[in-house]
A and B are shown apart, each in its own frame.
Chain A
Amino acid sequence: DTGVSQNPRHKITKRGQNVTFRCDPISEHNRLYWYRQTLGQGPEFLTYFQNEAQLEKSRLLSDRFSAERPKGSFSTLEIQRTEQGDSAMYLCASSLGQGANTEAFFGQGTRLTVV
């Protein structure tokens, strides 16, 4: 499968624990995005990487959230001290290009449940 890959697919954690998700974008895609989706809503932007540089973070992303893309390939999203409100689907997407009109391809997502 040469699409965007995310792991794990599901994660159940206790409140207060730390979790880390991984995203492997389509090979050679220079852009990588993290989105969060709650039931009945469209995906909401969290953060964006161009190669290894994190160029934007949403106001939705509190200090408990951190993302990295150390070599410009895969990315990780870590949530520290999880809260019940963090329960959501976390989607990763990647695209290739320099302009605004480039197709973004989504991964299957990681569904996080905080109990």
Chain B
Amino acid sequence: GENVEQHPSTLSVQEGDSAVIKCTYSDSASNYFPWYKQELGKRPQLIIDIRSNVGEKKDQRIAVTLNKTAKHFSLHITETQPEDSAVYFCAAPNAGGTSYGKLTFGQGTILTVHP
């Protein structure tokens, strides 16, 4: 099965700085890598995802990069704002068998943006 490792576990930045969260995965057949943001007491919400046919994807202040050779992908948040404070999870799917689409999540990163 898939194994996903996420670092760092906590990240503290000043408003306006950039934040980077990194994940590694084990299943070389995985081809879809979502990032979820979870605020306290709320559901995980998809914020950006990337498929393996591209190396980078941007959506306003957030971007995700993928290195399939090294089996790692990263979330980049620029010009951070206090409302970016949340727990961020990376995930990767099981790409084969009967588990198509089942997501394995990283351990999460608690991002705190100080005003």
A: which residues have CB within 8 A of B? Answer: 31, 33, 40-45, 48, 50, 55-56, 91, 93, 95, 97-109
Contact = CB atoms under 8 A, between A and B. Distances in A.
Interface of B: 6, 30-32, 34, 36, 42-46, 49, 51, 89, 91, 93-96, 98-108
A33 to B, nearest CB: 7
Contacts of A43: 44, 89, 103, 105
Contacts of A109: 43
Nearest to A97: B101
A45 B103 contact: yes
B99 A101 contact: no
Most buried by B among A42, A44, A91, A99: A42
A100 B44 contact: no
A108 B42 contact: yes
A106 B34 contact: no
B93 A103 contact: no
A106 B103 contact: no
B43 A100 contact: no
A101 B93 contact: yes
A33 B102 contact: yes
Nearest to B44: A106
A91 B42 contact: no
A95 B106 CA distance: 20
